[in-house]
């Protein structure tokens, strides 16, 4: 039923529960997890050109840290699942949906609130857009208080 699960991460605390759910789902079905971090291109474009490279490097590093957390959650399992990671650049929701299509995902898992979730109502803007535009099932996981 599930062969490929995509989990989108931004490294925030609210995503950790989604990561655990995605890894658990994959373990139950012997599926592969594709962990994805998207560097938000709109954040880069809004900056002066002279600092864009430095900020991009910092965001890439943040992405690697977020993906390392997914790897750690997987490694903590008694029987880890196959895990692949990727860092992409673009509009996060668009890149998540396109990536899910590219890897022929059976499901996409993500947190309901990201780094900027305090300003959103119910779902974060990225999660809301992915739910609306993705042709694949999307599992949104809320962080418990």
What tokens does 100 get? 């899910």
Are 46 and 34 in contact by the 8 Å Cβ rule? The answer is no
Which H/E stretch holds residue 137? none
What pTM was estimated for this model as a whole? 0.89
Instruction: Provide the percentage of residues in the chain whose pLDDT is more than 70.
Output: 91
Rounded distance between C-alpha atoms, residue 17 and residue 20, angstroms? 5
According to CATH, what is the number of the domain 4-141? 3.40.50.620
Neighbour tally for 6: CB within 10 Å: 30
What tokens does 118 get? 């305090």
**Which has the higher per-residue pLDDT, 43 or 81?**
81
pLDDT of residue 37: 96
Residue 46 scores a pLDDT above 90: no
> What would the pLDDT profile of 86-144 be if each residue is shown by its tens digit?
999 999 999 999 999 999 999 999 998 755 444 444 457 899 999 999 999 999 998 77
For 30, list phi and psi in degrees, rounded to 5: 55, 45
Which H/E stretch holds residue 7? strand 4-8
**Which has the higher per-residue pLDDT, 44 or 100?**
100
Neighbour tally for 59: CB within 10 Å: 19
pLDDT of residue 114: 53
Rounded distance between C-alpha atoms, residue 4 and residue 100, angstroms? 9
Enumerate the domain spans of the chain. Answer: 4-141
Instruction: Provide the percentage of residues in the chain whose pLDDT is more than 90.
Output: 70
- Count CA within 13 A, CB hemisphere, residue 58: 7
pLDDT of residue 121: 43
Chain Cα centroid distance, residue 18: 9
Residue 48 scores a pLDDT above 70: yes
**11: region left, alpha or beta (phi > 0 left; psi from -120 to 50 alpha):** left
């Amino acid at each position: 039923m599930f062969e490929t699960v995509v989990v989108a991460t931004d490294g925030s605390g609210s995503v950790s529960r989604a990561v655990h759910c995605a890894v658990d789902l994959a373990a139950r079905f012997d599926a592969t997890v594709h962990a994805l971090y998207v560097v938000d291109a709109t954040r880069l474009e809004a900056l002066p050109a002279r600092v864009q490279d430095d900020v991009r490097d910092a965001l890439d590093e943040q992405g690697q840290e977020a993906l390392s957390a997914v790897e750690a959650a997987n490694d903590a399992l008694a029987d880890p699942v196959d895990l692949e990671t990727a860092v992409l650049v673009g509009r996060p929701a668009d890149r998540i949906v396109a990536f899910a299509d590219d890897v022929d995902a059976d499901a996409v898992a993500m947190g309901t609130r990201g780094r900027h979730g305090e300003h959103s109502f119910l779902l974060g803007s990225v999660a809301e857009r992915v739910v609306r535009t993705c042709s694949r099932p999307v599992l949104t996981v809320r962080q418990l208080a």
